[in-house]
Structure 1
């Protein structure tokens, strides 16, 4: 009974401290966000699309999508974002904050990223959208139409995937920082 009470107490106390989850953001092969397994040609331009899906609708989003190490034979050329965005500082490689003039329903193409590959990219190359490196939360941050902050999950996409590529499972659980003293204080009576 004591254990059950402890679990209930932890759940009750933690509900207000856990940041709200909402939506997903990933790199896709198409602007609609339908194909996350991407085939990259051996030589030439490669265009990937960063797409936000899920709820709530998004007005501002801060993230980075740096070129993965497995794309060592490619060079980043440019980012392209729609004219409906306020001109942002930064870029996909170092971190960018994109803000719409209006609220955008999901799915929405956030931007495209163009690379030039001089040699074929390897199989099973994983591309993940990450947090903006200058944001202290360490999470991808976004805001909805009412200005509420939420934390979309950055998903992993596969470039040149095949049957031998393992499918990693990524689970992001935001937590509140605490100390062991505070945790031990819960058990003292």
Structure 2
């Protein structure tokens, strides 16, 4: 059976651990405990092929930057997460997570995932965002960012409502089993 290493990265408290726990146990964790480093494992059958999916949960906090990158070697696919209710976490995909992943593992497929989809319609979350002159990240913004970072796909989920969870891991397996050709990045143009 083929083994696939999937590393999940993103800012602290965006929902990486909840995503993984919901996928592996079908339960939503009741309390927030910041992750330093954790592993989960699951068998998954995608398009008739059964694989062992090794899921690596990482710490998003800055103080773990050097430790986190130790989990990157031999990664087959990355899931970069941001919270739909946290515009700063969305911005950090461009400014921190994508550059970090590309530096350590160029040409490894990336899925971009907007977490906490349920907060888009949560009055309390919307009120907090409004107090900071912010609004939730739209699906269109997520799709646009996924194109900028050359992600295989953009997906959204709600671990709280168990919505879109399984599909994320099906697509992460597909990204490894059926890779799309990597387009060369255009850095400069000579006239």
* TM-score (norm. length: structure 1): 0.31
* TM-score (norm. length: structure 2): 0.31
* Higher radius of gyration, 1 or 2: 1
Bigger share in helix? 2
Bigger share in strand? 1
- Return the structure number with greater relative CO, CA threshold 8 A, min gap 6: 1
